């Protein structure tokens, strides 16, 4: 159907009435629609406010939870840090204890070496055991010029014995250097003669008097190894100990002195030996270490020495 042009519409009274009704109805509907829209907007605003309040509450709850979590984490961190410090302290303490133990072990090892050395020395000492009844207890006395050990005058005509007599005269006169030459001459003339031990001992005595302690110590050991059952062996041990005492080798000196004290109770100079033992213990506090490994003194080879008995009177050769 084609639209009717406006100038062809019948604008009669009835039509105008209906048009007025429609216009008035529209005017009535618009306010109602506005009220409906307003009410809807108010509801939406309330919903938005409620949602916003919920969000604010949730945010606050999350912030509170975060603070609590932070406190828990800080507490855990402080706890771990404290444990770490405790572990660090424990490790440092363990390291210190370990160092102390190592130091103690080193000291014990040194003591073991010292005791081992002492045991070895005592073991070697067993090679010098002798019966005191076989040695005798007669004290040493100066020999007269031309008189040999034991007061025996060698028969004239024997070159070795004559050299020994000459050496003894020189020794008693205090000419130890010439006496040493003469004793060596006597030994070379009869290396295995009856006076061998006496000559060896007097050679050591000359060296001792001349302060040639290293050679004297070796010569005294030669006397001991030649006949460890003779009195001169013990006298030689005493002389060696004198040398060790002068060199600060207190351990060996003490061992040797104690050997005499325990094995040869009737020794002619036993009281002097005991006095020296007391002196050494007083100096060293009861634990001498001069001759122990690491103490600086090297023990002489062969049987251990004992501290010397009282030296013979100056200028006199000790008798057998």
pLDDT given at position 108: 84
Please give the pLDDT value at position 180.
96
Q: Would you state the pLDDT for residue 288?
A: 57
Distances in whole angstroms, Cα of residue 125 to Cα of each of 27, 128, 189, 240, 300 = 144, 6, 32, 13, 12
What burial class does residue 138 get, using C-beta atoms within 10 Å of its C-beta: 0-12 exposed, 13-18 middle, 19+ buried? exposed
Do 224 and 128 form a contact (C-beta atoms < 8 A)? Answer: yes
Predicted pLDDT of residue 293: 34
Span 129-284 CATH architecture: Alpha Horseshoe (1.25)
Q: What is the pLDDT of residue 40?
A: 78
Per-domain boundaries in the chain: 129-284
pLDDT tens profile 202-249: 999 999 999 999 999 999 999 999 998 888 988 888 888 889 989 989
pLDDT score at 156: 39
User: Distance between CA atoms of 114 and 112, rounded to whole angstroms?
Assistant: 5
pLDDT the model gives residue 318 = 43
Are 288 and 254 within 8 A, CB to CB? yes
Helix pair angle (270-284, 231-246), 10° resolution: 20
Mutual orientation of helices 231-246 and 213-226 as an angle, nearest 10°? 150
The length of the chain in residues reads 320
Q: Identify the pLDDT of residue 144.
A: 39
What's the pLDDT score for residue 81? Answer: 87
HEC-encoded secondary structure of 39-63? HHHHHHHHHHHHHHHHHHHHHHHHH
List the chain pLDDT tens, one digit each, 320 residues: 556 555 555 556 666 667 777 777 767 666 676 777 787 788 888 888 889 898 898 998 999 888 999 999 998 998 898 888 888 888 888 888 888 988 889 888 877 776 776 666 555 544 444 443 343 333 333 343 344 444 444 443 388 899 999 999 999 999 999 999 999 999 999 888 888 999 999 999 999 999 999 999 999 999 999 998 888 988 888 888 889 989 989 999 888 788 878 887 788 888 888 898 898 888 877 655 544 333 333 333 334 333 333 333 333 444 43
pLDDT of residue 87: 87
> Which pLDDT score, from 0 to 100, does residue 188 have?
93
pLDDT digit string, tens, across residues 175-202: 999 999 999 999 999 888 888 999 999 9
Helix, strand or coil, per DSSP, at residue 170: helix
The per-residue pLDDT of the chain, averaged, comes to 75
pLDDT of residue 21: 73
> What is d(CA 256, CA 297) in angstroms, rounded to the nearest whole number?
15
């Amino acid at each position: 159907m084609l639209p009717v042009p406006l100038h062809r519409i019948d604008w009669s009274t009835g039509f105008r009435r209906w048009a007025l009704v429609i216009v008035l109805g529209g005017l009535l509907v618009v306010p109602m629609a506005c009220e409906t829209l307003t009410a809807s907007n108010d509801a939406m605003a309330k919903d938005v406010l409620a949602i916003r309040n919920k969000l604010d509450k949730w945010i606050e709850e999350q912030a509170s939870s975060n603070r609590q979590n932070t406190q828990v984490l800080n507490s855990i961190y402080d706890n771990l840090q404290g444990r770490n410090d405790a572990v660090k302290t424990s490790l440092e303490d363990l390291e210190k204890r370990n160092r102390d133990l190592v130091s103690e072990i080193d000291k014990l090892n040194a003591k073991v070496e010292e005791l081992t050395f002492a045991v070895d020395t005592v073991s070697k000492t067993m090679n010098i055991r002798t019966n005191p009844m076989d040695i005798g207890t007669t004290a040493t006395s100066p020999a007269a010029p031309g008189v040999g050990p034991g007061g025996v005058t060698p028969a004239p005509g024997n070159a070795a014995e004559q050299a020994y007599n000459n050496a003894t005269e020189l020794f008693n006169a205090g000419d130890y250097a010439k006496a040493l030459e003469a004793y060596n001459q006597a030994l070379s003339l009869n290396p295995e003669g009856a006076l061998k031990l006496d000559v060896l001992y007097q050679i050591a005595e000359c060296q001792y008097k001349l302060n040639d302690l290293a050679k004297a110590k070796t010569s005294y050991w030669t006397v001991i190894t030649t006949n460890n059952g003779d009195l001169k062996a013990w006298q030689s041990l005493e002389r060696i100990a004198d040398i060790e005492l002068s060199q600060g080798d207190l351990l060996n000196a003490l061992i040797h002195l104690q050997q005499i004290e325990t094995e040869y109770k009737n020794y002619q100079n036993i009281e002097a030996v005991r006095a020296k033992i007391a002196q050494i213990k007083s100096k060293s506090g009861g634990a001498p270490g001069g001759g122990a490994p690491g103490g600086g003194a090297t023990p002489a080879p062969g049987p251990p020495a004992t501290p010397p008995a009282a030296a013979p009177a100056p200028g006199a050769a000790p008798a057998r």
